[in-house]
A and B are shown apart, each in its own frame.
Chain A
Amino acid sequence: MQPEGIGQIALYCAVLIAVAYPLGRYMAWVYTRERDDVVERGIWRVFGRGSGTEQDWKSYAKTVLIFSLLFFGVLYALLRLQGHLLLNPDHLPGVTWPIALNTAVSFVTNTNWQYYGGEATMSYLSQMAGLAVQNFVSAAVGMAVLAAVVRGISRRSRSEIGNFWRDLYRSLVYIMLPLSVIVAVLLIWQGVPQTFDAHATAATLQGAHQTIARGPVASQIAIKQLGTNGGGFYNSNSAVPLENPTGFSNFIEVLAILLIPAAQVFMFGRMVRARRHAWMVFAAMFVMMLIGVGTAVAAEQHASQVLRSSGVSIAAGHGQSGGNMSDKEVRFGIANTALWATVTTDASNGSVDGAHDSLTAAGGAVPVVNMFTGEVIFGGVGTGLIGMFFYIVMAVFIAGLMVGRTPEWLGKKIGAREIKLAALGALFVPTMVLVMTAIAIGTKTGMASIFNPGAHGFTETLYAYDSQANNNGSAFAGYGATSFSASFGSLAMDFGRFVPMLAGLALAGSLAGKKTVPESAGTFRTDGPTFAVMLVGVIALTAGLMILPALTLGPIAEGLMH
């Protein structure tokens, strides 16, 4: 491993913390500001009486579900009809139903799983007015729900947790839009196209004809990174030089993946007035991230069995970065691609700057495990921290059992209802992943999607449902689209999105209604390193033990092969 690579990863961590901390403070201000701005007052007038008043958790959840369902319908129709609509200079036909269904669900649930190649399937209208809008909105829905959940945790003896429309508006206009403009400008400067012109044609030096796909790329890439969406403009996502041209653009894009999720931890600390507690949550996430990055970088630099036994030079230095360069780009090399593979699955982003299917056995196991935790290592915008709340509740519960006291979290007594909701939120998705993987592996129609032979084919299947159920969207991309895999995957994305979200809102509603109790000598302290260790331990014991048998069949078996 070259020192330059380690230096870049260290710099990444430093910049992430330096930017996320002030952003988190700003976000806390955004969500707690009492006064409505002029646009908000306009919205309440158009929406009618009572539209701006605070909602209880049930009303909030209903609004989220209805809004998401309608948006799904609109997006599905747009994809099916794109052949007859505007902004289609390359005359692409309407999208077939299984792919349109999977894609519409995928983008509304903030997954961005892609069973299609963007540049060859989607018209500019579909990319802009369909997919890019969902990149903003699905992310903002997650952020709004988190704001409501945190508000609920911070309140005492109340039933309201916030107003969905206000939270949605503020997430979009105060946070997403300004950040997207900044990132898009930086990306255009670095070389990402931004045009409404049709694809360019070139006559190559050897006299061949080349079509260069372009379009309104930068504006979409900015939000797909920031909103933990991940759906690229091009099929090979951020590996494509037109989507990610330089080492600097790569740094901006990979920073954008974790920026908002990391800031939300600090936002949480401010909103519930427990900054030391938030730092401990941050520390737990950070340590798990570093373990992943370290494993992935070491494994990729060590290279795959095939490359090691091929006899070619895989040593870093002497004019190359070496290692497992299969499906990786020269300008990123090993360290940057392994860092990206780790953080894109820590968060629910799912964009890639090199193929995950071609990662080494151990390198590919890192994303599988990251996602399987429910993406709580920073996680998706909003949804990641909500997932972590489930583990926090379980951690204080287990700590409470150990010392024989009623568990407390932030001054609230944790009762049976909260434990049940937390267990549901934390365990539903991993259980679904294992069941769906088993069904897909146990049926002929499910097996048809597999691309690589042997243990790797099992990992492809596990990855597909792990990724979709956790709304990640990255793939062992050889795994193919069939009517079965596309519609079965749609189910995974839907349940994976909304079950934990509803459990989180219900948990918040329940906590908002509680009184706070003063801390006593027997209270398990949640603002020290013991708590951070406990939290990591609980995640390892639940998600880690659940995934272990599947890991044995997939990456571990493959790692032992020659």
Chain B
Amino acid sequence: MTRFVAYGVLALAALALEVTWLSDIRPGGAAVDPLLVLVVSVGLLHGPIEGAVVGAAAGLMQDVVTGVPLGLGMLGNLCAGFGAGLGEGRLYLEDLWLPAIAAFTLTIVRYAVWIGAGHMVSVLSVSLTEAVRVTVLAACYNGVVAIPIFRWLRRLDGALLRLSERPR
């Protein structure tokens, strides 16, 4: 329970960053999405169910806060969190590049779902080249920031675990 509260706080912090500072920093028209990186990290660390739940909740929060059609971010982040969790037990979490590769790949998945779903329900209209360009750029940015975020999240998990195991 403590962990989910901590994730909620982190998600809020990430969202606050997204709608403030990061909204002004958009090199090449794409921005870093720390919330998505957080979702991917949770999926990698705790499996598909937790990744999916955290992803859906975070995506919905993102939709509400950012004003995009509700459900788009929820669906996209749900897929990203679930996809990250599918490697549970098969991936070597100590690998430095794992979070970067996962964030890069799942950002592409998330954007594909996001754009595809938006097209399907006719709430989004964007050319394929523009979609690919923005998607790849965002994937690169997320891949870079995923390394420190994943490490911090692992440390936080460890600290929370030690806290919960401490004898009362």
Partners in one complex: no
Question: Residues of A with Cβ closer than 8 Å to B?
Answer: none
Question: Residues of B with Cβ closer than 8 Å to A?
Answer: none
